[in-house]
Amino acid sequence: MSGKKPGGVAETVKTIVYAVLIAIFVRTVAFEPFNIPSGSMIPSLLVGDYLFVSKYSYGYSRYSLPFGLPLFEGRIMFTPPERGDVVVFKLPTDSSKDFIKRVVALPGETVQMVGGVLHINGEPVQRRQIEDYVVRGPLGGVERIPQYIETLPNGTEHRILEAHGDRGMMDETRVYHVPEGHYFMMGDNRDNSQDSRYPEVGFVPVDHLVGRAEVLFFSTDRSAALWEVWKWPWAIRWERIFSRIE
């Protein structure tokens, strides 16, 4: 009797192809992982945080697809982001780059920084100072940064930092008029964030939204290299894992 043994190379290849297609589908329509490489969203997000972004929260655009394939224009199944959402978006001036910031102003609104205080539609946004944010350096030094809780007009509260007090470079700005179909994004680390206040970012078009940041699934302070397995337990920020992003 003769015959081919079931399975083999063909079955293995087929399994791999199916797995890849499923992963692409989930990444496109459901969740996509991102990591935080900079401190622009401290204290809400730290360098070394890894998070999931929900792709379905705002519907889908070409930037929901792998490599931003231009298979369709605009946005389908669109649900507008809410003020205070932490959003991943494609940089309007360079769509190959992903940014993550907080939505502070909606289409048709005005934004201005006056003396370090965010103003929306001409009204100052409430903030109250709380305990300083403490940063410990690698040599044991301590830096204390003024920290506030900011309350946006819809009641959303989040912490912000003012590393240079209220005298930072972008603590006094012109009035920005947010065009229809665009959003104004800012980082929580106000004096160390390149955001919609800068022309390199500017207003973010609705079709450049990638998704809403939802939950942290891993976090490391980067004090341990990948091969330094014995240091991992102390490098991982265990208390941040599976915490929701607000």
Q: What is the distance between the alpha carbons of residues 212 and 34, in angstroms, rounded to a whole number? A: 11
Q: Which residues are catalytic?
A: 40, 101
Q: Provide the pLDDT for residue 50.
A: 97
Q: Give the residue carrying structure tokens 């946005």.
A: 75
Worst-scoring range by mean pLDDT, 28-32, 46-50, 83-87, 98-102? 28-32
**Higher pLDDT pick, 9 / 77:** 77
Region 142-167: mean pLDDT is 96
Q: Which two tokens stand for residue 174?
A: 């012109």
Q: What does the pLDDT look like over 31-75, one tens digit per residue?
A: 899 999 999 999 999 999 999 999 999 999 998 887 777 777 889
Local confidence band at 26 (pLDDT 50, 70, 90 cut-offs): low
Q: Which two tokens stand for residue 175?
A: 């009035």
> Coil, strand or helix: which one is 235?
helix
Phi-psi region of 140 (alpha: psi -120 to 50; beta: other; left: phi over 0): left
The helix or strand, by DSSP H or E, that contains position 21, with its residue range, turns out to be: helix 8-29
Q: Cβ of 136: how many Cβ atoms within 10 Å?
A: 9
Q: Are 222 and 235 in contact (CB under 8 A)?
A: yes
210: pLDDT strictly greater than 50 = yes
Q: Provide the pLDDT for residue 2.
A: 46
Q: What is the distance between the alpha carbons of residues 6 and 18, in angstroms, rounded to a whole number? A: 18
Q: What does the pLDDT look like over 170-204, one tens digit per residue?
A: 999 999 999 999 999 999 999 999 999 999 999 99
SS3 percent helix, strand, coil of the chain, rounded to 5, is 20, 35, 45
Q: 195: which DSSP letter?
A: S
End-to-end CA distance of the chain: 66
146: pLDDT strictly greater than 50 = yes
Q: What is the distance between the alpha carbons of residues 238 and 220, in angstroms, rounded to a whole number? A: 8
At the fourth CATH level, which superfamily is domain 33-240?
A: Umud Fragment, subunit A (2.10.109.10)
Whole-number CA gyration radius for the chain: 21
pTM metric for this prediction: 0.86
Region 145-154: mean pLDDT is 97
Spatial neighbors of 66 by CB under 8 A, at least 6 apart, are: 24, 27, 28
- CA neighbor of 84 nearest in space, from 6, 152, 161: 152
Q: What is the distance between the alpha carbons of residues 170 and 185, in angstroms, rounded to a whole number? A: 14
139: pLDDT strictly greater than 80 = no
CB neighbour burial string for 66-86, b if at least 16 within 10 angstroms, e if fewer? eeeeeeeeebeeeeebebbbb
